Amino acid sequence: MPSEPHESAHEIEIEAEAEAVYRMLAHAEKWPQLFPPTIHADHVERGEREERIRIWATAGDTVKNWTSHRSLDPERLRIRFRQEVNTPPVAQMGGTWQIDALPAGRSLVRLLHDYRAVDAESLPWLDDVVDRNSRSELASLKAVAESGTAVAELTCSFEDSVRIRGDVGVVYDFVNRADLWTERLPHVLRVRLEEPEPGLQTLEMDTMAKDGTSHTTKSHRVGLAPHRIAYKQITLPALISLHTGHWTFGPADERGDVTASSQHTFTVRTDAIEKVLGSDATVQDAVDHVRTALSTNSLATLALAKAHAEGLAVDSRS
């Protein structure tokens, strides 16, 4: 039997214009870069004022996903949301983002929730998750909104692509089967893969850089077969504070070629530049260093996926 309804309210003042803060919240597809708990957000339906989004996010020590309907009100700087497809122990969840303009270009952001758990025993866990995630999201929103152009200067997004004459499902499977990467990818030294349900993975691995050093990363991955795998790193190399991305595959063109791409977005940590790269290194040096390392590994993976898929395609025609 569902628990009694609960309500929560969290708020924070931000040294930024209310309209600018609203725009950040309105673009749900950018939440993985904005909110620590969010792994991936995808639009199911999208209109000018109404939309449905599917969200994957951490909740305590687990990853949950749900589908929410959102009503956007840019005039009142308000976003209402209501989960339509819940994941236990959530029986019902909804709420409001309300942004109010304050004097001197400041804003007050209020995050309101109303919810029920599937039973009374699950309610304390849900209370704790709502509280911790709300505090985390508001703190991150404040930090990013107040940073101005600083975060933009430290953040880089890029994409590498290859064309593959092979089946899109085979290419997807090559990247999705990370449990086989120590056999398939020379730069991967160790893999630990957990897949509690199809399409949801936690991947921990040790990789080797061109200079011979190795580092450990841990990511949550969302597989949307056969065309996309989105991920967010939760254990990061020392030089960066954020790394999100996605692999995309196809669809096949009129020649039967598939475009496979690896997209990355990362943010450099200025306090780690000297320790990692030396006292003379600049922010641009750090950005270039990280981009080169990520691109090298991505292109190596894509090249091996290409060889694998095209080799199977040739075998199938033999």
What percent of the chain lies above the pLDDT cut of 90? 88
Q: pLDDT category, 188, cuts 50, 70, 90?
A: very high
Q: What is the mean pLDDT of residues 216-236?
A: 96
Q: Quick: pLDDT tens for 87-97.
A: 999 999 999 99
CB 64 within 8 A of CB 16: no
Total-model pTM: 0.92
Q: pLDDT category, 152, cuts 50, 70, 90?
A: confident
Q: Quick: pLDDT tens for 107-136.
A: 999 999 999 999 999 999 999 999 999 999
End-to-end Cα spacing for the chain: 60
In this model, does residue 211 exceed pLDDT 90? no
Average pLDDT, the chain: 94
pLDDT attached to residue 215 = 87
Strand partners, 217: 205
Which residue is associated with the tokens 């939760």?
Answer: 234
Burial letters 163-173, b for 16+ CB under 10 A, else e: ebebbbbbbbb
Instruction: Write the CB contacts of 131 (distance below 8 Å, at least 6 apart in sequence).
Output: 8, 10
Strand partners, 72: 79
Q: pLDDT category, 262, cuts 50, 70, 90?
A: very high
pLDDT attached to residue 162 = 97
Q: Quick: pLDDT tens for 50-86.
A: 999 999 999 888 899 999 999 999 999 999 999 998 9
pLDDT attached to residue 314 = 64
Q: Quick: pLDDT tens for 189-198.
A: 999 999 998 9
What percent of the chain lies above the pLDDT cut of 70? 98
Planar angle of CA 194, 130, 97, nearest 5 degrees: 120
Q: What stretches of the chain show up as alpha helix (H) in DSSP?
A: 18-26, 31-34, 123-146, 150-154, 168-176, 181-184, 273-277, 283-317
